Amino acid sequence: MIFGGLIAILTAIWIYRTAREEKIGNSFYWVTGSFVVYLTVQILMINFNSMIVETFDTDVSIECDAVDGLNARDNSDTSGIQLRQRECVDAWKDNNEDDNSDTAGIQSGTGGTFIGIIFELLPLVVPFFAVAFIRLRLMLKQPLSMATLFSGIKEMFIAIGQSFKSVE
């Protein structure tokens, strides 16, 4: 989340500089709106990632607790606990014979490593693209192109770097 916060701050600076350079009124409204869009899209992407992981998760821990084998959802029924415990432990062992990772499903194996990296990057990248699109289409009212989508970012970093230089 640290990187998400840094990207959000840099995005707000980028929007503010664009509004001031292009002499667009209500620059703070644009910054506030872009920040709200950034956080909203980030939360949606985190929920989307969780939904994808839970949808393709093949772990039996939803039905059984792997530690003691009891039904994790309903422990109120005391009859048949030993039978349920044996069924859950057997199901857990059957599903985890060849898998030595902590989780199963979409994030297991080498491909799961790459999917995990993608799921970590999506909540950072997609909100930035959403704010860049809004900046281009609504704020600047320009046609969509890669050159204009990210225009002003280099100048922003140069200005930030120059702000740290001492005045002599």
DSSP state letters, 19-88: HHHTT-S-HHHHHHHHHHHHHHHHHHHHHHHHHHHHHS---GGGTB-TTT--BSS-----TTHHHHHHHH
pLDDT in tens, 2-19: 888 899 999 999 999 999
CA distances from 100 to 36, 58, 118 (A): 41, 14, 22
Q: What is the pLDDT of residues 54-90, one digit of tens each?
A: 777 654 444 555 455 444 445 555 555 555 555 655 6
Domain ranges of the chain: 2-59+103-163
Structure-token pair, residue 136: 């281009």
pLDDT tens string 81-122 = 555 555 655 655 555 555 444 455 666 677 777 888 888 889
Distance CA(91)–CA(74), nearest Å, equals 17
In the numeric block, the tokens 């490593």 are attached to 113
Q: Which of 49-53, 72-76, 132-136, 164-168 ranks highest by mean pLDDT?
A: 132-136
